[in-house]
Structure 1
Amino acid sequence: MGRVLVMLTAAAAVLACSVATVMVRRRMKRRRKWRRVVGILKDLEESCETPLGRLRQMVDAIAVEMQAGLVSEGGSKLKMLLTFVDDLPNGSERGTYYALHLGGSYFRIIRVYLGGQRSSLHVQDVERHCIPASLLNSTSEVLFDFLASSLQRFIEKEGHESISSRDVKRELAFTFSFPVKQTSLSSGVLIKWTKGFAISEMAGEDIAECLQGALNKRGLNIHVAALVNDTVGALSFGHYHDADTIAAVVFGTGSNACYLERTNAIIKCQNPRTTSGSMVVNMEWGNFWSSRLPRTSYDIELDAESLNSNDMGFEKMIGGMYLGDIVRRVILRMSQESDIFGPIPSILSTPFVLRTNSVSAMHEDDTPDLQEVARILKHLGVSKVPLKVRKLVVKICDVVTRRAARLAAAGIAGILKKVGRDGSGGGRRKSDKQTMRRTVVAVEGGLYSNYKMFREYMDEALRDILGDNVAQHVVVKAMEDGSSIGSALLVASSHSVRTIPYE
C-alpha cells in the first residue's frame, strides 16, 4: 500500500511539473509575441520621430521649394500655381451668389447673400452630400451631369419666384479641390486627379467649361463665374473677416495651402498684371517631398498600392484620407507577427476600411476600458481584445497623428518663412516685438476642426518652431464652409452690379 502511495505521489509530481512546464512555455510564448508587437510599435515611433531640429529643416526646405517654384515651371515639386486672384474681398460686396464645392469625399452647394457690410453676410442655404464611389472612375460627362442635376434640384427648392425663375441669371463659383493650372479667374485646366479620383480623359480639360456645358444642357441660366481652389476660397473668406489673413491651409481628405505673394517675386510670370501688387498662389503642397520627411515602411506600401504612386508624398502623410489606412497597416502587421488580435480577419486587409474619423474616435476615447476602441476593432473583425491591446491601438493612433500634425505645422511655418513672417527675415530679431506684424492663417477641414488631438499637436508644434516671441503674433483661425463661402465672395468682389434681387 505504501509503495502504491509513493508511485501515485511521484506521478502527481510529474504531472504537476508537466503542467507547470506547459504553463511556463505558454507564458514565455505570449511574452515573446508581446515583445514582437512592442518592437513593431517602437520601430514605428522611431521612424515617425519629428524632433524640433528636423521640423526646422523641413521649414527651410519648404521655403526653398516655394522660391524655386516661383522662378520656373517645373523647377520645384511645389507647383506654385497662379490663381489670378489679386484683390481679396473687403466686406463691401453686395448681391446673392452661389458656390458648388467638389472636394475629396463630398460635394457641397451653398447660396450666399451679401448686403455690403461684413455683418450682413448670410449663408441662406447649404447642402452637403457624399460623392458616390462610382463617380470616382466614371467619365467627365457622368460626373458633371451629376453635379448639374444636384445644382438644379438645389435651385428648384428655393421657393422664391423672383429668384427661381429661369430668366434670372445666377453667378456661380466652382470650388474645385484638385490641381488646376488657371488661365484666368474663371478658367483652368486639370493637371491631375488626387484623393482617389481617376477620370483619365479629363486631364488637360477646362474644368469650368465642363461644368458650364453640363449646366447648359439642362437649360440652367447659371454662369460659372469663377474656378477656385478650396484653399483660395478659404483665404478669401478669412480675409473678408480679417485683413491680416495672408495664408490658408486645408486639412481634410487631402491637404493643400495657398498664400498672398508679391507679384515681383513671381519670376516665372514676367508681367503678372495686378492692381494690388500681389497675387494668391496655390502651392499644391501635397506633392512636396524631402529626404527629411520621416517616411515609414507603411507609407511606402500605401504609396505603392495607391492610384498615384510616387506622387503626393506629403499629402499621404498628413491628409485625412490616409491616416486611417496607415494605422490599419500597422495593426495588420502586428496581427501577422502575433495572435494578440486573434485570427486575422479578411476585412483588415482591405485598404481604407479604417477611416480617419475612426482613428480620431479611438485616439480620443476617454472611457476607462476604451469601449470605443473595442467597438471599432469589432467592426474590423477583431473582437474580445484585452485592455492592454486596446491601449496599444490608441498609441498607434497617437504616433501616426502626432507625426502628421507636426509636419503640417512645419508646412505652415515654411509659408511664414517665405513671406518674412517667421521672425527670421529682413534682419529682424525674434525678440523685437515692434517689427513683428500680426499674421492670420485661415485653416479649414474636418481633420483640423473635428480631431482635437491633431489640432493640439499642430498648434503646439507651430509654437515650438516659431518660438514664443513670434508665435504670439501668429493667429491660426479655424473656419467652417470657408472655402465655399469665400469662393462666392470672390465672384462678388469681381462684380460691380447685383445679379439677382436682394431678399
Structure 2
Amino acid sequence: MGGKLVFGVTVGVAVAACVVATVVVGRRVKSRSKWKRVVGVLEELEATCDTPVRRLRQVVDAMAVEMHAGLASEGGSKLKMLLTYVDNLPNGSEKGTFYALDLGGTNFRVLRVHLGGQRSLTLKHDVERQPIPQNLMTGTREGLFDFIASSLKEFVEKTDDPDELAPRRKELGFTFSFPVKQTSASSGVLIKWTKGFSIEDMVGRDAAESLQQAIDKIGLDMRVSVLINDTVGTLAVGHYQDPDTVAAVIIGTGTNACYVERTDAIIKCQGLCTTSGSMVINMEWGNFWSSHLPRTTYDIDLDADSPNPSDQGFEKMISGMYLGDIVRRVILRISQESDVFGPASTRLSMPFKLRTPMMAAMHEDSSLELTEVARIFEDILEITDIPLKVRKLVVKICDIVTRRAARLAAAGIVGILKKIGRDGTSGIAGGRSRADVKLRRTVVAIEGGLYTSYTIFREYLHEALVEILGEDIAPHVILKPTEDGSGIGAALLAASYSSYDTDANLL
C-alpha cells in the first residue's frame, strides 16, 4: 500500500512537472513568436526606409528636373519655384540702422539692427516680441496692421538714439510668413491665411502696402523696403556673412529652400531683367515629390490623416512637424501586433502625441538603461515598465526614421547644387574625371532646430552629403548654420534695398 502511495505521488509530481515544463515552453514559444512579429515590423520599416546612395542620386536628379520644370511654366511642377524679385543681397558694405518686422504666427517681433559697413558674424541688434490679441487674428485688415504699426512706433521711440546724426526716413524689412504671390521685392498679395489667422478682407491684398498704410496713418516716418519669407532672410544673413553663399535651407518644424538663379533660366518670365542678372527663387520645396522617395505605409496613413493630403510630401518625410508622429505610428503598429509595450495606451493612438523633440531625446539617450526613453514613455504615452530590449527597439525606430529624413534632406540640397552647376558634375564630358573640373567654394546657409539642435540628424545629413558628392567634391560644399534669418535677414535686406545705400550685390 505504502509503495503504491509513493509511486502515485511520484507520478503526480512528474505529471505536474511536465505540465509546468509545457507551460514554460509554451510561453517561451509564444514569447519568441511575439518577438518575431515585432522584429518583422522593424525589418519591414528598415527596408522601406532604405536610402542607399544610388537612390539618393535618383532623388537629386528628380529635384533638379522638377526645378527646371517649375521655372519653365506656372504649374509645371509640384515645386512652385516662386519669384521673389530679390536680386540684391547684402554684401557687408551696408551702413546704418535698419528695422525688421517678423510676422509668422500668434506673435510678431520687431528688430533694430546696426550695420557698420564691414562684414561681421555678429550684429548688434535690439528685439522685442509681442503677442497678437486673438480678436485681431480674425478681425479686420485695418485692425491687425494698426496694432502692429502702433507697437512698431513704440519700439522705435524706445530704442532710437537721440544723438544719431543725419536723421532720415527709417527703412524696414517685412518678413510675412504666409502664402504670398510676390509682385516685386517690396510687394506681394496674400493668397490665404494659415496658423489660426482668418481676416477675410486681407486675402488678395498687398501685405506690404497694408503695413505701409498703417505706418503712415500714425505718422511714423518709415518705408517698407522689402517683403520676404524666412528662407530668403536666411539666405540674406548667409550672404552677408559669406559671399560664396548661393542657397539657404530651413529644416525645423517645417522646411523650405531658396537659391540664387540666373534670370535667363527663369523661362516662365521671359524678358525678365535684373541689374545683377540673377534672382532669388523661393522653391517651396516641402511640396517636392518623386517616385524615388522611399515612402512607407506610415507615410501614406499620415498624409491621408493630415489637413492637406497629397501636399507637402517632402516636408512630411523630413521635417520636425512629422518625424515624431511617424515614430508614434510605428510603435502603435507594434503594440497592435504584440503586447511588448504592455496594456494598450489610448495616448499612443493620439496623432502628434509624440513630438519630434521627445523623439530626438529618446534617440540621443546615452544612459545604459535608456532611462530617458522610459521617462518619455511614462510621461507622454502613459506606458510604464518597458523592458530594456524594448527600449532599445524604440531607439532603433527613431534612428531609422531620422536617418531617412536627414539623408533625403541632403539629397535635396545636392539637387539644388546640381541645378546651378555646383555639384562638381558640370561640364564633365569626353572622359574627364571629376578631379579635372574646376571646383568653386559653395556655401549653403542652413537654419532650423532639426539641423542645429539634433546632433544625430546633422551627422547623418553630412554623411549623406559626402556619399552623394564624393570625397573629392564634398570639401568644397559648406553647410553654414545661420541665426534669425526671419528677423536679422529682413533688416539686412532693408539695407540692401535702402534708398541711401545701393552698393550691395548678388555675386
Contact 2:93 / 2:117 at 8 angstroms: preserved in 1?
Answer: yes
Taking structure 1 as reference, are residues 441 and 270 closer, same or farther at Cα in structure 2, changes over 3 Å only? Answer: same
In structure 1, C-alpha distance between the alignment counterparts of 2:253 and 2:82, rounded to whole Å: 21
Say whether residues 1:304 and 2:307 are aligned partners.
Answer: no
Identity of aligned residues (%): 62
Aligned match of 1:29 = 30
In structure 2, C-alpha distance between the alignment counterparts of 1:362 and 1:409, rounded to whole Å: 23
Q: Which sits farther off after the overlay, 168-177 or 230-239?
A: 168-177
In structure 1, C-alpha distance between the alignment counterparts of 2:150 and 2:401, rounded to whole Å: 37
> Deviation digits for residues 290-317 of structure 1, max 9, x if unmatched?
1111111111111111111110101111
Aligned match of 1:98 = 99
Aligned match of 2:278 = 278
Question: What TM-score does the superposition give when structure 2 sets the normalisation length?
Answer: 0.89
Aligned match of 2:115 = 114
Aligned match of 2:455 = 452
Q: Which sits farther off after the overlay, 99-108 or 229-238?
A: 99-108
In structure 2, C-alpha distance between the alignment counterparts of 1:456 and 1:218, rounded to whole Å: 50
Contact 2:428 / 2:434 at 8 angstroms: preserved in 1?
Answer: no
Aligned match of 1:68 = 69
| Deviation, structure 1 residue 408 | 0.5
Taking structure 1 as reference, are residues 120 and 453 closer, same or farther at Cα in structure 2, changes over 3 Å only? Answer: closer
| Deviation, structure 1 residue 435 | 1.1
Q: Which amino acid aligns with 1:252?
A: G
In structure 2, C-alpha distance between the alignment counterparts of 1:137 and 1:348, rounded to whole Å: 33
Aligned match of 2:243 = 243
In structure 1, C-alpha distance between the alignment counterparts of 2:291 and 2:361, rounded to whole Å: 32
Say whether residues 1:366 and 2:376 are aligned partners.
Answer: no
Q: Which amino acid aligns with 1:468?
A: E
SS at match of 2:120: helix
| Deviation, structure 1 residue 468 | 1.3
Contact 1:370 / 1:387 at 8 angstroms: preserved in 2?
Answer: yes
Contact 1:288 / 1:313 at 8 angstroms: preserved in 2?
Answer: yes
Contact 2:141 / 2:199 at 8 angstroms: preserved in 1?
Answer: no
| Deviation, structure 1 residue 224 | 3.4
In structure 2, C-alpha distance between the alignment counterparts of 1:33 and 1:26, rounded to whole Å: 10
Contact 2:262 / 2:278 at 8 angstroms: preserved in 1?
Answer: yes
Say whether residues 1:488 and 2:469 are aligned partners.
Answer: no
Q: Which amino acid aligns with 2:81?
A: M
Aligned match of 2:444 = 441
In structure 2, C-alpha distance between the alignment counterparts of 1:19 and 1:135, rounded to whole Å: 69
Contact 2:225 / 2:497 at 8 angstroms: preserved in 1?
Answer: no
Taking structure 1 as reference, are residues 148 and 31 closer, same or farther at Cα in structure 2, changes over 3 Å only? Answer: farther
| Deviation, structure 1 residue 371 | 1.1
Contact 1:424 / 1:430 at 8 angstroms: preserved in 2?
Answer: no
SS at match of 1:118: coil
| Deviation, structure 1 residue 330 | 0.9
Say whether residues 1:77 and 2:78 are aligned partners.
Answer: yes
| Deviation, structure 1 residue 482 | 3.1
| Deviation, structure 1 residue 106 | 7.1
| Deviation, structure 1 residue 208 | 3.0
Aligned match of 1:405 = 406
Contact 1:175 / 1:228 at 8 angstroms: preserved in 2?
Answer: yes
Taking structure 1 as reference, are residues 59 and 161 closer, same or farther at Cα in structure 2, changes over 3 Å only? Answer: closer
> Deviation digits for residues 178-222 of structure 1, max 9, x if unmatched?
44221111221234567x657484654433345556667877665
SS at match of 1:125: strand
Contact 2:252 / 2:448 at 8 angstroms: preserved in 1?
Answer: yes
After the TM superposition, which residues 59-458 of structure 1 pair with which residues of structure 2 at under 5 Å, given as runs? 59-103=60-104, 108-119=109-120, 122-127=123-128, 144=144, 148=148, 151-152=151-152, 155=155, 158=158, 160=160, 162=162, 170-191=170-191, 199=198, 201=200, 204-209=204-209, 211-212=211-212, 223-379=223-379, 380-427=381-428, 429-432=432-435, 435-458=438-461
SS at match of 2:124: strand
Aligned match of 2:467 = 464
Taking structure 1 as reference, are residues 369 and 139 closer, same or farther at Cα in structure 2, changes over 3 Å only? Answer: farther
> Deviation digits for residues 385-428 of structure 1, max 9, x if unmatched?
11111111111111001111111011111111111111212236
Aligned match of 1:501 = none
Taking structure 1 as reference, are residues 161 and 248 closer, same or farther at Cα in structure 2, changes over 3 Å only? Answer: closer
Taking structure 1 as reference, are residues 218 and 12 closer, same or farther at Cα in structure 2, changes over 3 Å only? Answer: farther
In structure 2, C-alpha distance between the alignment counterparts of 1:111 and 1:146, rounded to whole Å: 20
| Deviation, structure 1 residue 445 | 0.7
Aligned match of 2:504 = none
Contact 1:246 / 1:439 at 8 angstroms: preserved in 2?
Answer: yes
SS at match of 1:442: strand
Contact 2:66 / 2:77 at 8 angstroms: preserved in 1?
Answer: yes
SS at match of 1:113: strand
In structure 2, C-alpha distance between the alignment counterparts of 1:307 and 1:136, rounded to whole Å: 24
In structure 1, C-alpha distance between the alignment counterparts of 2:163 and 2:347, rounded to whole Å: 49
Q: Which amino acid aligns with 1:6?
A: F
In structure 2, C-alpha distance between the alignment counterparts of 1:97 and 1:401, rounded to whole Å: 39
Where in structure 2 are there 5+ consecutive unaligned residues? 502-507
Where in structure 1 are there 5+ consecutive unaligned residues? 499-503
Report how many aligned residue pairs link the two structures. 494
Taking structure 1 as reference, are residues 281 and 355 closer, same or farther at Cα in structure 2, changes over 3 Å only? Answer: same
> Deviation digits for residues 144-181 of structure 1, max 9, x if unmatched?
469828955981794557399xx996433222344422
Aligned match of 2:505 = none
Contact 1:256 / 1:284 at 8 angstroms: preserved in 2?
Answer: yes
Contact 1:409 / 1:459 at 8 angstroms: preserved in 2?
Answer: yes
> Deviation digits for residues 353-381 of structure 1, max 9, x if unmatched?
21111111111111111111111111221
